[in-house]
Amino acid sequence: MRRVSIFGATGSIGQNTIDLIAREPEAYDVVALTGGQNIAQLAQDAIRLRADLAVTADETRLDELRQALAGSDVEAAAGREALLEAADRPAEWVMSAIVGAAGLEPGLRALQRGATLALANKESMVCAGQLMLRTAQAHGGRLLPVDSEHSAVFQALIGEDLDAVERVIITASGGAFRDWPIEDLPKATPAQAATHPNWDMGQRITIDSASMFNKALELIETKEFFGLSADKIETVVHPESMIHALVGFNDGALMAHVGPPDMRHAIGFALHHPERKPLPVERLDLVKLGQMTFRPACEIRWPALRLAREVMEAGGLCGAAFNAAKEVALDGFIDGAISFTRMTEVVEEVLSRVSPRLRHIDDDFGLDMVVEADHLARVEAGNIIAG
């Protein structure tokens, strides 16, 4: 049996991961499941999957979790420290699906003991890509991408020489507002932004899809994950979300990864790697699909894409600041403190203030420096939003 842990088990990626694991109970020994506020779901899955341990990140909710687990053999724990200790437990395969920079440290801890880390938490690569790669290498850990675009690139690169790659094209659905008049965007509400045309995902990533901050994070993730220079990474709007990414080679070949928008493909690929095994995803009917369309990714409609390019060029710890400022701006938008379009202005302002200090930091930075850059950007973003 393979020992597995799922961080962010109660979320959208976490639940899709559980869906796959629960289909083969004889194949997996579940070590730890972690969640945040959704105690009922966490306890229910931990009992059903016979996990050793269930952890809520919220230390005030330990009693509630204990009650929900009463009568079972599942151990309960709560708080940040418990979350990190859960990452030290000996699971060979760990799903990193906490949302935000909060997912970085548990993933690092799993890599430090040589685990295979299935990485949905793109923020880890954006904030600390070099640290993630270095940690995996130093301890015999393995990083596998779960973001659908990066799984697609990874699959297109199997057996290929990275030097032969001319470009990588990351597709974008365009999110909730791709057809809105640009002048209406300042009036967009969080509820409107949180509806995705194709994918069923958590609230934060769905709003990030509407602003294209999600795609901005993914462009940076591509650079970090595959070690490509920024000028080789492109994006195009593809409203049908059937092609997840394309890799262009120096002989003109363009390899596309095509499939219906179902995260269980990328999760299952990472779960079974290096093998391919049957997965319960819909098989694409090309005739029924009829056509696939593409549009330019306009940086006036989606200025987050321009910022991503600036962050990739700046390097250092600008990615950590970019992500942190984005998280604070997103909270501000969800709470009604700032408008939809103000989010990018806040992030741009934070970058202009902090990047002179962060851009020259060498790739051998440690976690403490990432935490510092993250904190600095959060403080600046908070100040800007407060006016």
Which of Mg ion, ligand NDP, none lies near 57, with the C-beta cut-off 5 to 8 A by kind? ligand NDP
Binding residues for Mn(2+): 147, 149, 218
The site string for ligand NDP over 300-339 (x = CB under 6 A, - otherwise) reads: ----------------------------------------
Q: Per CB under 6 A, does 263 bind ligand NDP?
A: yes
Q: Per CB under 6 A, does 12 bind ligand NDP?
A: yes
Which of Mg ion, ligand NDP, none lies near 315, with the C-beta cut-off 5 to 8 A by kind? none
**Element housing 247 (H / E):** strand 243-249
Q: Per CB under 5 A, does 147 bind Mg ion?
A: yes
The site string for ligand NDP over 202-231 (x = CB under 6 A, - otherwise) reads: x-xx--------------------------
- What is the closest distance, in whole angstroms, from the C-beta atom of residue 34 to ligand NDP in the complex? 6
- What is the 3-state composition of the chain as percent helix, strand, coil, each rounded to the nearest 5? 50, 15, 35
The site string for ligand NDP over 140-179 (x = CB under 6 A, - otherwise) reads: -------x--------------------------------
Q: Per CB under 6 A, does 11 bind ligand NDP?
A: yes
Give the C-alpha separation, 200 to 207, whole Å. 12
Binding residues for 1-deoxy-D-xylulose 5-phosphate: 122, 148-149, 173, 196, 209, 214-215, 218
Give the C-alpha separation, 207 to 192, whole Å. 9
Q: Tell me whether residue 58 or residue 349 sits nearer to ligand NDP (CB atom).
A: 58
| CA distances (Å), origin 272, targets 109, 112, 121, 258 | 22, 21, 19, 19
Give the C-alpha separation, 253 to 255, whole Å. 6
Which of ligand NDP, Mg ion, none lies near 12, with the C-beta cut-off 5 to 8 A by kind? ligand NDP
Q: Tell me whether residue 199 or residue 249 sits nearer to Mg ion (CB atom).
A: 199
How many CB atoms within 10 Å of residue 268? 23
Restricting to residues 318-357, name those near Mg ion by CB under 5 A.
none
Which of Mg ion, ligand NDP, none lies near 108, with the C-beta cut-off 5 to 8 A by kind? none
Q: Tell me whether residue 150 or residue 273 sits nearer to Mg ion (CB atom).
A: 150
The token pair that represents 13 in the structure block:
């990626």
189 Cβ neighbours under 8 A, 6+ residues apart: 340
Pairing relationship of beta strands 2-7 and 28-35 according to DSSP bridges: parallel
Q: Per CB under 5 A, does 221 bind Mg ion?
A: no
Alpha helices (H) along the chain: 12-22, 39-48, 62-68, 80-88, 104-112, 122-139, 148-156, 190-193, 203-211, 213-226, 264-272, 286-289, 304-314, 318-334, 342-358, 367-386
Give the C-alpha separation, 91 to 277, whole Å. 21
Q: Per CB under 6 A, does 126 bind ligand NDP?
A: no
Q: Per CB under 6 A, does 99 bind ligand NDP?
A: yes
**Quick one: which of 200, 201, 172 has its CA closest to 294?**
172
- What is the closest distance, in whole angstroms, from the C-beta atom of residue 150 to ligand NDP in the complex? 9
Give the C-alpha separation, 176 to 169, whole Å. 21
The SS3 of residue 243 is strand
User: Which of 31, 86, 91, 120 contacts ligand NDP by CB under 6 A?
Assistant: 120
Q: Which amino acid is at 375?
A: H
Q: Per CB under 6 A, does 98 bind ligand NDP?
A: yes
Binding residues for NADPH: 10-13, 36, 38, 121, 123, 202
Rounded to the nearest angstrom, the gap between the alpha carbon of residue 272 and the centroid of all alpha carbons in its chain is: 19
Alpha helices (H) along 140-227: 148-156, 190-193, 203-211, 213-226
Which of Mg ion, ligand NDP, none lies near 102, with the C-beta cut-off 5 to 8 A by kind? ligand NDP
Binding site for Mg ion (CB under 5 A): 147-149
Which residues sit at the interface with ligand NDP, rule CB under 6 A? 8-14, 35-38, 57, 97-99, 102-103, 120-123, 147, 199, 201-202, 204-205, 263
